Amino acid sequence: MTTNYYSRRNTRLIVGLTMAMLAAPAYSTILYRPVGRAPEVFAYNGTTMSQPLTNTNALNSPKVYLIFLGPNFESGGAPTLATLSMVSAVKAILNSSYLSINTQYGSDGHATYGGYTTDTSIDPAAHPQNYMYSETDKILSESKFSSWLPPSGGDARKSPIYVVARYGSNGTNVPGPYGGSNDNGPNQYTKRAINVIDVAITSADQVDEFTWILSHELNERISTGTGGLIGVGPSSGNQICDGEPEGGDTYAARLPGADGPFVTSCWSFIDQAYVIEDGKLDRTMMVPVWNKSGWAGNFVSLQQGNLYLVTPYAPGYSAFSSTTTKIDSSVQSFVVNRSGGTAQIFDLTSGGQVKQYSGSGTAWTTITDSSTVASALVSTSYLAETESTVYTLEDGQVFMLAGKKAWQYSGSGTSWNLLTSNVSPTAIAAANGDFYFTLSSLGVEQDVFIDGYLTGGGSVTSSTTGVQAIATVDGTLYMLAINPTAAPLPAVWRYDSAKTSWTLVTNNGTFVYSIAAAGDVLCMLATGPDVTGAIGVAQYSLTSHDWIPLTGSNTAVGQILVQDGNQLYMLANNGSAPMQVWQYSSPGNWTALTGTNTSIKSVSMATDNTLHMVASNNGGPTDNWIYNGTPGSWSIVK
């Protein structure tokens, strides 16, 4: 449906009791999508992650103590305004949901503020070196800091975190490199069982540098603890905040609030993206725009059907700033394609038109004629490793599904090349540079998966395989299909990178009703051993047959939906409660958008990415409702 012509009556639905499975508070995230190569892979003590980690050496609720080293952190014997701002920013970070990502790695996701001090006896600009061990030992040796001491027993997992901040130059607003490190003792540098962080900023007034470095090192120190959480594969040796091997690691944002703390993103195994937990309900996906050999420095983000161009926070010396520009509205989906080494942005409007972005302001060119109504849009651009650790975004093509035909854009005007003149595709997808579509055979549920005509390809599934749906996640193609011999129940299959075979990734006994790509994870609605409860939602862990349940044992799910290609919703009941609409935050963590006083007939996602339901409230008439963006707040569509 479209929502161009209606008036809203402000009728508010009141949310009832939340699900029993929702014990954790609702955290959401800003997600930074990897560019398109193989996903980040982490191993703990040599074992590759396939589920969130538990029982690790990660830190739980450590206190954080700040040690500001150098005379420039004081003025007239008192802390400077910049120093006090740094302390205030640390408190804001620790009081937010920012560190909750570490629950994936075995931590409780919390840390608390302990205190701060300044030491003006050493000028770090005159004597540049890492002081995190020596300065921590010095402070802890003073009797007045006895309350800061780590517990006895020599176990750094129970130690606070001591942060030593220093600067490289005297003066203010000084440019230059900045960075940090973290480690734990006892070791050759200290006999104390402690956790330490070094924060090296350019000058003592650089608050944003301080919070960026500290947020980076805090996540890595808490997630690793005294264990061995380390990147393997394309980012070998990295920790969770070290960024992509392609170099697009300036993924940062401010936490909510007036001039909130500036923090870095870190890798989320659950989301398969770099994330910042910001405490907001809506999940926002940032898709990086790449030219041939590197990040162009901005993102495209689809949010409730509005398309934004985001220039992120970038290194500066007086402040870190960003710009967000709304460039289109009523958008179904978009793609970032590369042609001739230059990035191109295309979107698909709610009315089915395909447009190309001019690159500035809100200027677009419609590249389909007025009679065309497209329902899907994909691009075959992909990131290739041209040599070891060197990546380039390869040129691609833009395809659409319109009028039950597959079309390839010619690159000029409104001219499209028809690819499927004699057949009627039911879905299209792109993965690792190739274009795919599905066909319906003889009008029955016997879909055949076809590899694009561009390379002379044909069917890539056997004649006995009945394909029900396809989805692309992180450059890999998946299908929901029945194969009477290998999987008589509807199951999920993964197409291998060599394009020669399919691998069954659901376990025997799992009956899959539907699949959906939500961001860079593959979700399914199913019953059986891969989900929890009678009918539940799970996401693929990208490893073997491992699935991560997203719903609990007391939940029965009737439907899953995806907004903006990223935000997951479900229609589900909890025990004996009626069906309600729920919004996903993290495994087992959903927020009810309707109350138990609402009787829901159906729920749908409109082509402009607005959430609708057909329901009656408090026994009243059945109406079409549109979600207003706040739990419990819906308006009747007239």
User: Could you read off the pLDDT of 386-438 as tens digits, one per residue?
Assistant: 665 566 778 899 999 999 899 999 999 999 999 877 778 889 999 888 898 88
44-76 tens-digit pLDDT: 998 989 899 999 999 999 999 999 999 999 999
Classify strands 416-418 and 405-409 as parallel, antiparallel or unpaired: antiparallel
d(CA 6, CA 637): 6
CB neighbours of residue 10 within 10 Å: 9
Distance CA(253)–CA(520), nearest Å, equals 20
Instruction: Give the phi and the psi of residue 579 in degrees, each rounded to 5.
Output: -60, 140
Q: What is the pLDDT of residue 88?
A: 97
Give the distance from CA 495 to its chain's centroid: 23
* CB-neighbour burial class of residue 343 (10 A; exposed 0-12, middle 13-18, buried 19+): buried
Tokens 């890539």, residue located: 460
Instruction: Write down the pLDDT at residue 37.
Output: 57
Residue 142: the pLDDT is: 97
Cα separation values, 147 from 114, 142, 160, 170, 459, Å: 9, 10, 11, 32, 70
Encoded amino acid at 139, one letter: I
Q: Which residue matches tokens 């394309």?
A: 234
pTM of the model: 0.90
Q: pLDDT above 70 covers what percent of the chain?
A: 88
pLDDT at 487: 87
- How are beta strands 161-167 and 78-79 bridged, if at all? unpaired
DSSP code of residue 151: P
Q: Would you call the peptide bond into 186 cis, given omega within 30 degrees of 0 as the criterion?
A: yes
Query: Which one-letter DSSP state was computed for residue 376?
Result: E
Angle (CA) 468 351 624, round 5°: 80
Task: For residue range 204-241, list pLDDT tens digits in order.
Answer: 999 999 999 999 999 999 999 998 898 887 667 888 99
Task: Point out which residues pair with 187 in neighbouring strands.
Answer: 190
With a cut of 50, list the residues of the chain below it in pLDDT: 1-26, 316-318, 442-446, 452-456
The candidate with the shortest Cα–Cα distance to 525, out of 545, 541, 506, is 506
Sheet of 161-167: strands edge to edge? 112-119, 63-69, 161-167, 195-201, 179-184
Distance CA 459, CA 437 (A): 10
Q: Dihedral sign, CA of 18, 21, 27, 32?
A: negative
Strand locations in 11-143, DSSP E?
Answer: 29-32, 41-44, 47-48, 63-69, 74-75, 78-79, 112-119
pLDDT of amino acid 336: 93
